[in-house]
Amino acid sequence: MSATPTPAVRYFIRDPDTDLPLEGAKLYTYVAGTTTPADTWADADKGSTNANPVIMEADGGADVFIDGSYKFVEYRADDTLIREIDDVIGGTTAFDKPASGVTSLPFDDIIATNVQ
């Protein structure tokens, strides 16, 4: 069974104050509502499991595919908490956007609730 891509396959973390991409930011992934680590993948076929945390590249993004319901916790590279998003599942609502100048498909595979 294939995994569901997060927004346009790339998940982006941006600075909430400046809206600039955060290279080196960290995305920790957990089973929704818990602190139990959950796997994500770098491809839809689940051929390559991402590290947990997923480290954002120069554009502030990383390839993140999911299978199930998750809690995402975002940190800056210096381990300062940015935000926590619980109940991330397949759906139709986007909760982030790519860095400017990055080509991206429409965000149509995510529902995020309990964004803190």
| CA–CA gap between residue 94 and residue 46 (Å, rounded) | 22
| CA–CA gap between residue 82 and residue 41 (Å, rounded) | 22
Scan for tokens 């602190």, then name that residue. Answer: 35
Please tell me which residue, 18 or 10, carries the higher pLDDT value. 18
User: pTM of the full predicted structure?
Assistant: 0.74
Concatenating the DSSP letter of every residue in 49-64 gives BPPSSEEP-TTSEEEE
* Per-residue pLDDT tens over the stretch 11-66: 899 999 998 999 999 999 999 999 999 998 888 788 899 999 999 999 999 988 88
Please tell me which residue, 79 or 65, carries the higher pLDDT value. 79
